[in-house]
């Protein structure tokens, strides 16, 4: 065997010069990556309301084709409380706010456009029910609560184009409505600001 052939053969046998593909490591990190992507995707899907969940809430009234123009004038709405339509350029702060006075419809409707749920109650609602609503709103971003003197039910939950009126604040549909419609798929401007605007009734 020639000298050059012996050198070539020695290089082949030298473990330090051999470069094998680390298939075990590649497989391990690929599996970890797939699991991480699947977990993130699953968590995202669980955090978003499905249309099936929303449509299965008994009693929800839906209104389509709502206008979205800004105006400083009073607006005559055809729902009470309004579910959307033209509204004031300034939104009502809705970052878990509890108001003890009625709100101006035009400001509240702007908050609905941003993905908020407006919970209203008829004055005289039992104290325990009102306390339950306050606690729920204070721990749920993109919600706000106020009395609504002309309300034809004890409690109403309103999102853009969607409304549910209830006889009892303890109704299980309250949580289902919040889950489906807070920044839900019906929102024209999901995630737009819910604070930094009108903070008074």
pLDDT, tens digit, for every residue of 127-161? 999 999 999 999 999 999 999 999 999 999 999 99
Task: Compute the chain's Rg from CA coordinates.
Answer: 28
CATH class of 59-75+83-181: alpha beta
**Is 183 buried (19+), middle (13-18) or exposed (0-12) by CB count in 10 A?**
buried
Single out the residue of 169, 188, 57, 192 nearest to residue 120, CA to CA: 169
Domain edges within the chain: 3-47, 59-75+83-181
pLDDT band at 45 (very low <50, low <70, confident <90, very high): very low
Give 177-187 pLDDT, tens digit per residue.
Answer: 999 999 999 99
Single out the residue of 60, 74, 139, 58 nearest to residue 109, CA to CA: 74
Whether 166 has a pLDDT exceeding 50, the answer reads: yes
Q: Provide the token pair at 103.
A: 């709100």
Give the other-Cβ count within 10 Å of 186's Cβ.
Answer: 22
Give the Cα-Cα-Cα angle 35, 40, 44 (nearest 5 degrees).
Answer: 145
Q: Provide the token pair at 86.
A: 């033209």
Give this prediction's pTM: 0.74
Strand 61-62 relative to strand 162-166, pairing: antiparallel
pLDDT band at 19 (very low <50, low <70, confident <90, very high): low
**Strand spans (E) along the chain:** 61-62, 95-98, 117-121, 143-147, 155-159, 162-166
Cα 86 to Cα 22, 43, 76, 82, 106: the distances in Å are: 63, 35, 9, 10, 8
């Amino acid at each position: 065997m020639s000298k050059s052939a012996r050198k070539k053969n020695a290089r082949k046998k030298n473990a330090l010069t051999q470069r094998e593909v680390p298939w075990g490591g590649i497989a391990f990190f690929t599996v970890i990556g797939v699991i991480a992507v699947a977990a993130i995707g699953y968590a995202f899907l669980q955090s978003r309301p499905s249309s099936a969940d929303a449509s299965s809430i008994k009693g929800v009234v839906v209104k389509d084709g709502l206008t979205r123009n800004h105006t400083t004038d009073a607006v005559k709405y055809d729902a009470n409380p309004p579910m959307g339509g033209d509204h004031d350029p300034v939104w009502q702060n809705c970052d878990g706010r509890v108001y003890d006075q009625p709100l101006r419809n035009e400001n509240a409707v702007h908050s609905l456009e941003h993905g908020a749920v407006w919970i209203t109650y008829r004055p005289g609602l039992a104290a325990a029910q009102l306390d339950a609503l306050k606690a729920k709103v204070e721990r749920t971003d993109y919600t706000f609560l106020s009395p609504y003197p002309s309300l034809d039910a004890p409690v109403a939950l309103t999102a853009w184009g969607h409304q549910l009126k209830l006889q009892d604040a303890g109704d299980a549909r309250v949580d289902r409505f919040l889950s489906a419609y807070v920044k839900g798929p019906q929102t024209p401007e999901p995630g737009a600001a819910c604070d930094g605007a009108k903070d008074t009734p």
